[in-house]
Structure 1
Amino acid sequence: MDTALPHVPSRPAFRDATEADVPELVALIESAYRGDSSRAGWTTEADILDGQRTDPEGVLQVITAESSRLVVVERDGSLLACCQLELRGDAAYFGMFAVRPELQGGGLGRQIITEAERIVHEAWGVREMHMTVISVRDELIAWYERRGYRRTGKMTPFPYGDERFGLPRRENLQFELLVKELG
């Protein structure tokens, strides 16, 4: 009779990213949003944008900015996900959210956004979390709405012509501001 206990994966650990994490973070973010690898998950932007989602300079800027942090999510030493938290006045901004495509849909994203909301509320005392989402991403916006975020109807244009944000495959891209009141 085998008496060995089955391996139970540990809970994800959250920590601030360091400069040493930049290459792995860029690869994670690209894999979650662009190219064929992103199609393994449900957050892909591959049908609306080609090109890059971010670059090492952009990730490093988030890590080193004074009012910003890039939170890394790991389990058993493996990078699973990340998200940007930035203090913007009396609100926090949530961005650069990426979960490894093969792990999407399993509840990890819900854990991360809950922890991100807790972090900004406790660390910065903010009462709102803001984010921007490409307005044609109906399934993703619906996911955030189920987490308590509301559409504001406030739009900002997509930066057409700036390849750092990708190469649009359609003409009608814009960002919509989503907002959630925090505890």
Structure 2
Amino acid sequence: MTDLRFRNATPRDADAIVALVESAYRGDASRAGWTTEADLLDGRRTDADDVRECIARPDSVVLLAVDAATREPVACAHVAQEDGNGYFGMFSVRPTLQGGGVGKQLLARAERMVFNHWGLPAMRMTVIDVRDELIAFYERRGYVRTGIKKPFPYGDERFGQPRRDDLRFEVLEKRAPARAASRR
């Protein structure tokens, strides 16, 4: 496994984060990993302005897992406070490192931030509901399907160009452990 260091992203990291996110989800390069959306969506997943907004927003960070030797980001996630809960998104791991534990470490770090540092009652995320393998990954880490569905924003190219007409999001949620919830 890669020796990792974790840190919060700065605006200078925006281009590297965009490259990482795009490599994990779009195009042929994403097929080296298991999180690809290449069969579902074309177009972009994010851009530097979106990333900088996430970094600059109050109660919001982009966490980076950085290769200790090269100092290059190998994984990232956007973690924020939204509607009294934690939000987890833009989760990306370099395709060639997927399945090696990097993502699990970053997810655990994000959960500690939400539950222990911010003292929030739950972490929520939206996942395209046809992504069964990805949903199963989160379920193995304690997330549950809430049954809350949100429409996919067809026509808004900020979310990509759909290759199917049956896409929608489902909200997954993980409640804070009892000890973390009791600190509030």
Q: TM-score, normalised by structure 1?
A: 0.93
Separation (CA, whole Å) in 1 of partners of 2:154 and 2:2: 43
Which structure 1 segments of 5+ residues have no match?
1-7
Q: Name 1:157's counterpart in structure 2.
A: 151
Separation (CA, whole Å) in 1 of partners of 2:115 and 2:146: 21
Please report how far the alpha carbon of residue 162 of structure 1 lies from its aligned counterpart in structure 2 after TM superposition.
0.7
Matched, 1:65 2:57: yes
Please report how far the alpha carbon of residue 164 of structure 1 lies from its aligned counterpart in structure 2 after TM superposition.
1.0
Equivalent residues in 2 for 1:58-137 (5 A)?
A: 58-76=50-68, 77-137=71-131
Aligned to 2:120, what secondary structure does the other structure show? coil
Equivalent residues in 2 for 1:26-45 (5 A)?
A: 26-45=18-37
Q: Among all aligned residue pairs of Structure 1 and Structure 2, give the percentage whose two residues are the same amino acid.
A: 55
Separation (CA, whole Å) in 1 of partners of 2:2 and 2:147: 41
RMSD, aligned α-carbons: 1.1
Q: What is the aligned residue count?
A: 175
CA deviation profile, 1:137-165 (whole Å, cap 9, x unmatched):
00000110000000011001111001111
Aligned to 2:105, what secondary structure does the other structure show? helix
CA deviation profile, 1:35-94 (whole Å, cap 9, x unmatched):
000000000000000000001111111011112111111121121100010101321000
Q: TM-score, normalised by structure 2?
A: 0.92
- The one-letter code of the counterpart of 1:83 is A
Aligned to 1:118, what secondary structure does the other structure show? helix
Report the structure number with the largest CA radius of gyration. Answer: 1
Separation (CA, whole Å) in 1 of partners of 2:132 and 2:125: 15
- The one-letter code of the counterpart of 2:108 is T
Aligned to 1:27, what secondary structure does the other structure show? helix
Separation (CA, whole Å) in 2 of partners of 1:57 and 1:86: 17
Detail structure 1 runs of 4+ shifted over 6 Å in the superposition.
Answer: none
Please report how far the alpha carbon of residue 9 of structure 1 lies from its aligned counterpart in structure 2 after TM superposition.
5.0
102-111 or 34-43, which deviates more: 102-111
CA deviation profile, 1:114-153 (whole Å, cap 9, x unmatched):
1110111122101210000000000000110000000011
Separation (CA, whole Å) in 2 of partners of 1:86 and 1:79: 20
Separation (CA, whole Å) in 2 of partners of 1:119 and 1:75: 21
33-42 or 66-75, which deviates more: 66-75
